[in-house]
C-alpha cells in the first residue's frame, strides 16, 4: 500500500462541497496528551472510506469528533459547510440528525421489537406511525430482517443485531453514516454481508465511513482507506 496525506485524496465530485472538513484538528480527553493531532480530512458527498489503525489508535475518537460527541481541542471542523465552533446551539440538533451512527455495542432497546427499535428515531422526531410504517418494514426486509421485525433484541443473533443497528441508523436517511467496528463481533461471512449492505447504502448517495481493524474486509472492497498512526491520519491507496 502507498501512503499519502489525506488532502491528496480526490473528491468524487469536484463541483460539490465536502460534507465534512477537518483542518489541523486535534483532540484530547481532559488534560491527557492529544490522542489525535493535526488531522486534515475532507469527505466528498457520496464517498466511502474505511478507517483503519491498530487497536487504540483513535478510530472511535475520530468518529466522536465527526458526530459531535466530543469537541476538538484545536483546529477547524466544518459539517455541511458550517463551522461547528460558531454554529448556534439551536442548530446542532439539525446537524446531528444528518449523521447516522452504528455503535460497536449496538445500543438497542431490549424491551422494544426490532420494528420499534428502527422506528424510534422517527417517533422521537414526531412522525406518525401511519407515515413511516411501510418505510420501516421495507428497510427491515432490505437488511434481511423482514421475518424478525416483531422479535426482541435478546432473541436475535449478533449478525441480526448488527443489521438491526444499521437499519436504525439509516431510517432517517442521513447524509453521513459512521460505522464503528460494525463487524468486530461477527464471523467473516457475516462481516462481508454487513460490508455489502454498507456499500449498497453508499451507492444510494450516503457518505459512509467504516472503522475497522479487519484487513480481510477492507482489501477486497477496493474502497479508499484512511489510516490512523500515532495520532495522525493518512490516506492510503486501496489498490496499491
pLDDT tens-digit series, residues 156-196 = 999 999 999 999 999 988 999 999 998 887 888 888 888 88
- Assess whether pLDDT exceeds 90 at residue 55: no
Q: Tell how strand 176-180 and strand 99-102 pair up.
A: parallel
Residue 24 domain-assigned? no
pLDDT at 217: 83
pLDDT value at residue 188 = 84
DSSP 223: -
Instruction: Find the domain containing 149 and state its range.
Output: 45-68+93-236
Q: Is residue 204 part of a domain?
A: yes
Q: Is 10 contained in some domain?
A: no
Measure the CA–CA gap between 109 and 63, rounded to whole angstroms.
Answer: 22
Confidence of residue 9 (pLDDT cuts 50, 70, 90): very low
Residue 1 clears pLDDT 70, i.e. is over it: no
The CATH number for 112's domain is 3.40.50.300
pLDDT band at 213; cut points 50, 70, 90: confident
Residue 20 lies in a domain: no
Average pLDDT, the chain: 88
How many domains is the chain partitioned into structurally? 1
Q: Is 38 a domain residue?
A: no
pTM of the model: 0.86
Q: Both ends of the chain: CA-CA distance in Å? A: 4
In a domain, 194, yes or no: yes
| 214 contacts 187 by C-beta, under 8 angstroms | no
| Contacts (Cβ under 8 Å, ≥6 apart) of 204 | none
Per-residue pLDDT, averaged over 1-16, amounts to: 39
Judge whether 118 lies within some domain: yes
Q: Would 37 be classed as within a structural domain?
A: no
pLDDT tens, position by position, 82-128: 999 999 989 988 899 899 999 988 999 999 999 999 999 999 989 99
Tell me the per-residue pLDDT of 14-53, one tens digit each, with 9 for 90 and over: 445 899 999 999 999 998 999 999 999 999 999 999 999 9
Given a cut of 60, is residue 238 above it in pLDDT?
A: no
pLDDT tens per residue across span 123-157: 998 999 999 999 999 999 989 999 999 999 999 99
The confidence score (pLDDT) of residue 236 equals 61
Name the residue with cell 477486497: 220
Amino acid at each position: 500500500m502507498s501512503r499519502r496525506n489525506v488532502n491528496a485524496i480526490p473528491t468524487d465530485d469536484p463541483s460539490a462541497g465536502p460534507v465534512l472538513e477537518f483542518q489541523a484538528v486535534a483532540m484530547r480527553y481532559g488534560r491527557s496528551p492529544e490522542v489525535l493531532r493535526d488531522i486534515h480530512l475532507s469527505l466528498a458527498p457520496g464517498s466511502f472510506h474505511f478507517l483503519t489503525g491498530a487497536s487504540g489508535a483513535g478510530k472511535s475518537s475520530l468518529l466522536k469528533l465527526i458526530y459531535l460527541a466530543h469537541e476538538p481541542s484545536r483546529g477547524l471542523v466544518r459539517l455541511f459547510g458550517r463551522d461547528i465552533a460558531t454554529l448556534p446551539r439551536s442548530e446542532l440538533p439539525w446537524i446531528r440528525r444528518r449523521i447516522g451512527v452504528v455503535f460497536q455495542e449496538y445500543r438497542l432497546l431490549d424491551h422494544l421489537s426490532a420494528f420499534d427499535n428502527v422506528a424510534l428515531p422517527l417517533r422521537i422526531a414526531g412522525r406518525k406511525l401511519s407515515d413511516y410504517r411501510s418505510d420501516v418494514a421495507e428497510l427491515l426486509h432490505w437488511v434481511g430482517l423482514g421475518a424478525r421485525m416483531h422479535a426482541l433484541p435478546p432473541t436475535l443473533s449478533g449478525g441480526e443485531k448488527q443489521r438491526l443497528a444499521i437499519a436504525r441508523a439509516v431510517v432517517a436517511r442521513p447524509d453521513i453514516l459512521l460505522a464503528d467496528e460494525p463487524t468486530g463481533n461477527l464471523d467473516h461471512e457475516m462481516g462481508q454481508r454487513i460490508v455489502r449492505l454498507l456499500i449498497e447504502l453508499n451507492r444510494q448517495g450516503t457518505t459512509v465511513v467504516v472503522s475497522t481493524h479487519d484487513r480481510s474486509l477492507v482489501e477486497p472492497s477496493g474502497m479508499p482507506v484512511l489510516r490512523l498512526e500515532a495520532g495522525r491520519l493518512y490516506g492510503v491507496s486501496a489498490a496499491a
